[in-house]
Structure 1
Amino acid sequence: MTVYGVTGGQGFIGSYVRRELLARGHEVVVFDRHPHTEMAPGETFYLGDIRDETSVVELAAHVDGIIHLAAVLGTQETIGNPRPSADTNIRGSLNVFEAANQYGLPVVYAGVGNAFMRDLGTGSYTISKTAAEDYARMFNAYRGGRITIVRPVNAYGPGQSIAAPYGTSKVRKIMPSLSCRALVGSPIEVYGDGTQISDCVYVADVARTFVQALEHTAVHGPTERPVEVGPLTSVTVNDIARLVAEEATHYTGREPVAIKHLPMRPGEIPNAVVTSDTSTLQQIGMTAADFVPLDEGIHHTVRYYAEQWLPGYLAA
């Protein structure tokens, strides 16, 4: 029985990764700095922070591999205050890589789908996450590292946290924002003219890729190139907004809400194209052709917010 650690295991992607690991017969150690929620059979919880070298080494001593998801998130949010993202995303990742190296463990590191934007003056989130990628390559090249980089584009799906004014999350994510606005009848806000491409991938497919990559790395070592996770077909942000608006009508009974365009936020690049080279999935025996189509994923996601979030919001 293999035991795999998941840093940031109580986060949105982490919760799906845990379920995928359990479904494949692995045991899971959930490593998180927040007090734990209920654990499923086959899971144990370890309260710790990746910035703490000792706790990370202790995690590594008790697992057979690590999926490293813990990070400080946000594009514009990390521009105004870059130190926490640098401290957690760079130094914290170094702690994970060092601890894994000490015990010869395979690691899957969660990179970013917009890694190329590091050269375009984007925010501290991308800068810090891609810096950790550089360290992962260094470990693989010179330290005998066993680190595979997996770069998902925008992960979405049921359970993703909601930012103000509809929730308490400090980081605005595209699908919760669009869904909540459409369900309450407010215009959907899109930054820029909406012609930019920012691909989305269903969270369960992201979780499958992380777990598949770790199983592959445990046997074959790290992949030659980062594994990029996204859809086969790209669409614009306006296309995503229209799909969400149309799906929401099934729950509201109203006409689709309008799309309102706002100025681009700091750290965002006008007319950017954030896509994936899905051929890289072949390195771990996967294909994006098996991923959940965007319209189906949006159906599941909007239904979740309509059934799980909307009643409480309307009653408040």
Structure 2
Amino acid sequence: MKVLVTGGAGFIASWIRRELLARGHSVLVMDHQDRRTGLAPGEEFFLGDVRDATAVTEAAAHVDGIIHLAAVLGTQETISNPRPSAETNILGSLNVFEAAAQYNLSCVYAGVGNHFMRLQGTGCYTITKSAAEDLARMYNAYRDGGRITIVRPVNAYGPGQSIAAPFGTSKVRKVMPALTCRALTGTDIEVYGDGTQISDCVYVGDVAKAFVTALEHTAVNGPTEKPVEVGPLESVTVNDIARLVAEYAASVTGREPVGIKHLPMRPGEVPNAVVKSDTTTLQQIGMTAADFVQLDEGIRRTVDYYNESWLPGYLAA
């Protein structure tokens, strides 16, 4: 199968591309920035923006299936500037779904693990991504060629995730890099709120397997009845995650574990939120969260990656 991956230069996309290639598929990488360098054998690049319906339709004409990841991310960022997320996450997804229906392609759409929080005053990211889920359901119910499976990962983490200020240039702060970079540099970890909220994390390699498996399943059986939720079997608090990162980073650096500093929650964050997955939905595509990388092992892999690949350059700068 030749698979179009929108937002193909992103973090999760890079792991999905490797998983697709490992299973014998070929990949058409679509991104709005020219990322032709670094393509692996079996990959081609298509320069285009999902907001451009013509570009999406042209890309879809050359593939057998689509994994739709392109999105404008961020909670606080999309509150202060909601228009880009609305244009990309809703209209861009509409373009992808329309192209998939036109060519009768199987499609997997990346939903959000905290979809339910759109009813609780959360950010435009969750609102717009959830709106696109509604569009996917409409296509499946009423449009010929509607073959869209929704996959909802919780917080994906692992090697290669971008780093936000003050340690990197990414515009969007992601949990695991933020915790890890502070711990490796001997800086107290910052946790928003009291840290008792549950915000489950799932290793990115397992997320990639779920997306590719969902696409293969959809190609044969059609879309799943329910969204496929990707997360761990056991939930932990943000404080638990922070402690695990601090303790393993200390073993790597030879210092005492850094402390945890609590800050006020930011706009779009919901106190006492519980962001977790219904992992029984994985059964629809023949998967189980029991096979996923455990949190402590995933954190070890992630901290080791940043210690080896990021920290030396940061300290030398």
Please say whether Structure 1 and Structure 2 have the same fold, judged by a TM-score greater than 0.5: yes
Q: What's the counterpart of residue 69 of structure 2?
A: 69
Letter in 2 for 1:77: E
> Helix, strand or coil for the counterpart of 1:292?
coil
Please give the alpha-carbon distance, in whole angstroms, between the structure 2 residues aligned to 1:44 and 1:260: 45
Pairing 1:1-316 to 2, within 5 Å after superposition: 2-36=1-35, 37-144=37-144, 145-316=146-317
Paired amino acid for 1:95: N
Once the two structures are superposed, what CA deviation does each residue of 1:244-278 show, in whole Å capped at 9, x if it has no partner?
00010122111100000000010000010000000
Q: Distance in 2 between matches of 1:315 and 1:23?
A: 36
Provide the TM-score with structure 2 as the length reference: 0.99
Q: For residue 147 of structure 1, what is the amino acid of its counterpart?
A: I
User: Equivalents in 1 of 2:251, 2:161: separation in Å?
Assistant: 21
Alpha-carbon separation, structure 1, partners of 2:156 and 2:39: 23
CA deviation digits over 1:41-97, x for unaligned, max 9?
000000000000111001110000000000000001100000000000000000000
C-alpha distance in structure 1 between counterparts of 2:243 and 2:262, whole Å: 13
TM-score, structure 1 as length reference: 0.99
Q: Which residue identity does 1:285 align to in structure 2?
A: G
* Aligned-partner SS, 1:25: coil
Separation of aligned partners in 2, 1:34 and 1:151 = 25
When the two chains are superposed, the root-mean-square deviation of aligned CA atoms in Å is: 0.4
The one-letter amino acid of 2:263's match is: L
Matched residues in 2 for 1:49 and 1:315: separation? 36
Distance, in Å, in 2 between the alignment partners of 1:121 and 1:38 is 40
Share of identical aligned residues, percent? 78
1:109-165 deviation digits (Å, cap 9, x = unpaired): 000000000100100000000000000000000003000000000000000000000
Paired AA for residue 49 in structure 1: D
SS of equivalent residue, structure 2 residue 34: coil
Q: Give unmatched runs, 5+ long, in structure 2.
A: none
How far apart, in 1, do the equivalents of 2:253 and 2:43 lie?
39
Deviates more, 1:244-253 or 1:187-196: 244-253
Unaligned runs of at least 5 residues, structure 1:
none
Per-residue CA deviations over 1:173-200 (Å, capped at 9, x if unaligned) read: 0000000000000000000000000000
Q: Distance in 1 between matches of 2:158 and 2:33?
A: 22
> What amino acid maps onto 1:133 in structure 2?
E
Structure 1 position 168, deviation (Å): 0.1
1:197-234, CA deviations, whole angstroms, 9 ceiling, x for partnerless residues? 00000000000000000000000000000000000000
**How far apart are the structure 1 equivalents of 2:67 and 2:315?**
38
Structure 1 segments (4+ residues) deviating >4 Å: none
